[in-house]
Amino acid sequence: MKGLTDIPGILVGHASDYEARTGCTVVLCEAGAVGGLDVRGSAAEGQWAVLDPLHVTDRIHSVIFTGGSAFGIEAASGVRRYLEHRGVGFNTGSAIVPIVVGGVLYDLGFAKKGIRPTRETGETAAGAATDRAVAEGAIGAGTGATVGKVLGMANSMKSGVGSWTITLSGGVMVSALAVVNAVGDVRDPRTGKILAGTRTTASGMEFADSERLVLGGTAAGFRGANTTLVCVATNAMLDKIQAKKLAQFASLGVARAIAPVNMMSDGDTVVALSLGTLKANIDALGVAAASATAQAIVRSVTETKPMGGLPGLGK
């Protein structure tokens, strides 16, 4: 299993600045993919308008996830430049315009002050895109990702990128890539056990239980350190409305693996991509999308090593 690159036609590339502790992750679908969107967090930031089912463009060519908060969306320009040089995009009659969508996560509290992903960062990540197994952990947009910040950054844990694929009958696949920067805890979706999250002390590994803290009034409003970004893809053929529904299904997987989730200071967003001609029931695809997303979120913490003074579960 390779993760999101199991889906034919998808390439994934990362660019990481480990000194500054930030970066971006690029998903390329140069032949075009039908896209859908589901935004559940109240602090989302990004470029998503073309994913509206009523938008004139019926295909997108890249999804970019980047650190740097709103500053980081500049990296999308580098992906557009990369694709333009390859002749990839929507034919407007006067020019070929690459359709790039993207979202940002807030890593400014962990990254080096004043250094964010740039156009060159996005171009580098696009140039590094490959169909090999997705690199996971503290890489790309996951370089500056952390989880469990109800008691502040010092009591959080390191997280990053995770990816997982589920195969259905007839060769249909659904795969997810998640970059997890949640205010809440990552839990095992089967048992509810906290895997990574808010620690009671900055030096210990006892979990405080972020849900309990929020219910007790510890956290409220915008805290500026969060967002989980997910790209879920399938080789089944969907239209834009079905792709939006697939993104909504995948959001259920986010809720299974993160608690609390979709907070006022989260920008939780899921993008769904459809590539291929296989036929599949949308409900079956949705169940698989939720499961693949939850497992990708789990891997975003289990595959991430300690970094920047924060503990991680990776070896």
Per-residue confidence (pLDDT) for residue 56, from 0 to 100? 84
Per-residue confidence (pLDDT) for residue 166, from 0 to 100? 98
217 conformational bin, left if phi > 0, alpha if psi -120 to 50, beta if neither: left
Per-residue confidence (pLDDT) for residue 223, from 0 to 100? 59
Per-residue confidence (pLDDT) for residue 222, from 0 to 100? 44
Per-residue confidence (pLDDT) for residue 221, from 0 to 100? 43
Cβ(282)–Cβ(156) under 8 Å?
A: no
Instruction: Look up the pTM and report it.
Output: 0.95
Residue 208 to residue 140: CA distance in whole angstroms: 29
Extract the residue ranges of the chain whose pLDDT is less than 50: 220-222
CA atoms in the 13 A half-sphere facing the CB of 21: 18
Residue 76 to residue 297: CA distance in whole angstroms: 24
Q: List the beta bridge partners of residue 269.
A: 39, 229
